[in-house]
Chains A and B, each alone.
Chain A
Amino acid sequence: MPTKPTGTLYRGKTGMWSWVLHRITGLSIFFFLLVHTLDTALVRLDPAAYNEVIATYKTPIIGVAELGLVVAILFHALNGVRIILIDFWRKGAKYQNVMFWIVVAVAFVLFLGFAPRHIMHILEYIQAGK
């Protein structure tokens, strides 16, 4: 009978989930960047068109999506550091599990610092009656 794998880097547990999350966040940021390069390019074509498009970034729905984008960036970037440490630091693989939880905790704290302020900006924009 095969026994349940335990404590490996890649099957089950944090090792695997961090990999899945790293993939999904990388993929999402990539697609955002494709759109974002195009919307920024409007700045070179027509100021009014740019203002119109960037105004959609301030609506409640996109505003919430931006919170998601920031979460994705925070996780992908910090977990990227974890991956680099696993590769280059002698004790990296040993501490990969602890480092995963540090990544989650730091991302969470940074998100808590950011979210209320962003939500406030979105609410103020709605109140301004735009």
Chain B
Amino acid sequence: MVTIETPRSPRNRKSANREKWAWLFMRASGVVLIVLIFGHLFINLFTGDGIKAIDFAFVAGKWANPFWQVWDTLMLWLALIHGTNGMRTLVNDYAEREGWRKSLNFSLWTICILLIVLGTLVTTTFDPCPDTSVVSALPQFCSK
């Protein structure tokens, strides 16, 4: 059930403040994301051979430069938090039952955090020359 507070009820300061910061974050992150995402698409889809050129070696070439590691990590954090917070708005608008709304929002933020952790590990621990000896660590039945 969605409850509407009576018009004169005092505002809940804490949640009003949180909404204000979320609102500001959407705008601030949006401005930065324009640069990050347009730059990402320009380099990966437009310059050189575009999509045709993308493979492991392409990524290794980019992440050999800390500039692109920082670029991608920042883009990852901002896009995921911005997107998840935007999805929260949609859930709050369309999920009518309170329990359903809460669990959807909980799932969204859980996914957001997991992907941020995963993506950050990927950009920061990337190894352009992965250890080929792991192949020999496979169980024997793999080599027919």
Residues of A within 8 A of B (CB): 23, 26-27, 29-30, 33-34, 37-38, 40-41, 43-44, 46-48, 50-51, 54, 57-58, 63, 66, 70, 73, 77, 80-81, 83-84, 87-88, 114, 117-118, 121-122, 124-125
Query: In the complex, which residues of chain A have a beta carbon less than 8 angstroms from the beta carbon of B87?
Result: 27, 30
Does the CB pair A118–B50 fall under 8 Å?
yes
Do residues B27 and A84 form an inter-chain contact, with CB atoms below 8 A? yes
How many angstroms between the C-alpha atoms of A16 and B119 in the bound complex?
35
A44-B50 in contact (CB<8A)? no
Closest approach, in angstroms, between the C-beta of B50 and any C-beta of chain A?
4
Interface of chain A: mostly helix, strand, loop or mixed: helix
Q: Are B126 and A121 in contact (CB under 8 A)?
A: no
Instruction: Report yes or no: A70 in contact with B30, Cβ–Cβ below 8 A.
Output: no
Contacts of A122 in B (CB 8 A): 51-52
Total contacting residues, chain B, CB less than 8 A: 36
Question: Is B51 a contact of A63 with CB atoms below 8 Å?
Answer: yes
B49 CB within 8 Å of chain A? yes
With a CB–CB cut-off of 8 A, which chain A residues contact B86? 26-27, 30
Q: A residues within 8 A CB of B126?
A: 43-44
Most B C-beta atoms less than 10 A away, residue of A33, A66, A70: A33
Nearest neighbor of B72 in chain A, beta-carbon distance: A40
B19 at the interface (CB under 8 A from A): no
With known contacts A34-B111, A37-B76, A37-B118, A43–B56 Cβ distance under 8 A: yes
Residue of A nearest to B24 (CB): A87
* Distance A54 CA – B49 CA, assembled complex (angstroms): 14
- Nearest-Cβ distance from residue A87 to partner chain B, whole angstroms: 7
Please determine whether A81 and B118 come into contact, CB atoms closer than 8 angstroms: no
With contact pairs A33-B80, A81-B34, A87-B27 given, residues A70 and B45 touching in the complex (Cβ less than 8 Å): yes
Q: Which of B46, B83, B122 contacts A26 (CB 8 A)?
A: B83
CB distance from A70 to the nearest CB of B (A): 7
Residue of B31, B52, B90, B122 near A40 (CB, 8 A) is B122
B56→A51 contact, CB < 8 A: yes
Selected from A47, A54, A80, A124, the residue in CB contact (under 8 A) with B34 is A80
Q: Are B51 and A121 in touch, CB under 8 angstroms?
A: yes
